[in-house]
Structure 1
Amino acid sequence: MKKRVNLSLPKKSILLPITYRLAKDFNVAANIIRAQVAPNQVGKMVVELSGDIDRLEEAVEWMRSLDIEVSMNGREIVIDENICVDCGLCTGVCPTGALTLNPETYKLNFARSRCIVCEQCIPSCPVEAISTNL
């Protein structure tokens, strides 16, 4: 099973080997989608966890015991087609290729299944047509 979670790490947890512990202690793979972590600061990470469902729950509880805020990622990218001008700027920052321009029509295509909700496309949109549903 896979779960995408948002982690907010307090200053005291920044230097802990969290992904190593997830793998070693819980047999849970942690694919880091996005991370903003620096010493002596609150860290933010978007991580996709995969493993046995019971072990995933144990791993989440373990992280919470370290005062790591864990929230399930239910957000999705939303594109307002009435505002979008199909400029393609968002396609250049999309790490998964979820956003592409159709080479024949030059219309923006959004493959939701490829989107990891990294939100890099949001600030790249000059007309603010891209947002999240939450």
Structure 2
Amino acid sequence: MKKRINLTFPKRAISIPITYRLAKDFNIAANIIRAQVAPNKVGKMVLELSGDIDQLEEAMEWMRSQDIEVSQHGREIVIDDMVCVDCGLCTGVCPTESLTLDPKTFQLNFLRSRCVVCEQCVTACPVNAIAVNL
């Protein structure tokens, strides 16, 4: 099973090797989607976890026991097809190539499974057809 979560680390928990512990202690693969972690600062990370459902729950409980705030990642990019003009400006800023233009029809294609919700496309869209759904 896969689960995308948000982590918020207190300053004292920054040095905990989270992804290592998830793999070693809980047999969970952790894909880091986004991270802002620096010494003596509150850290934030978005992880996609893959593993057995029971082990995922155990791992999230362990992180909470380390005073790491764990929440479900519910944000996603939404595109209003009625507003989108298929200009392709968003495709140039998309780091995962989840936004592409069809070479034959020149219509925008969105592969939600590749999207990491970096939000770069939101600011790039000149007609405000792209937004983040919370």
TM-score (norm 1): 0.88
Counterpart of 1:111 in structure 2 is 111
Counterpart of 1:131 in structure 2 is 131
User: How far off is 1:63 after superposition?
Assistant: 0.7
Counterpart of 1:32 in structure 2 is 32
User: How far off is 1:112 after superposition?
Assistant: 2.3
Counterpart of 1:7 in structure 2 is 7
% of aligned pairs identical? 76
Distance in 1, matches of 2:19 and 2:126, equals 36
TM-score (norm 2): 0.88
What is the SS of the residue equivalent to 2:24? helix
| 83-92 or 61-70, which deviates more | 83-92
C-alpha RMSD of matched pairs (Å): 1.6
Q: Which runs of 5+ in 2 are unaligned?
A: none
Counterpart of 1:94 in structure 2 is 94
Query: Are 2:48 and 1:48 equivalent residues in the alignment?
Result: yes
Q: How many residues were matched structurally?
A: 134
Q: Deviations over 1:66-122 (max 9, x none)?
A: 121111122221011232232212212323322101112222111223323333322
| 55-64 or 88-97, which deviates more | 88-97
Distance in 1, matches of 2:60 and 2:51, equals 12
The structure-2 alpha-carbon separation of the partners of 1:25 and 1:76, relative to structure 1 and needing over 3 Å to count, comes to same
What is the SS of the residue equivalent to 2:38? coil
User: How far off is 1:40 after superposition?
Assistant: 1.6
Query: Are 2:87 and 1:73 equivalent residues in the alignment?
Result: no
| 12-21 or 81-90, which deviates more | 81-90
What is the SS of the residue equivalent to 2:100? strand
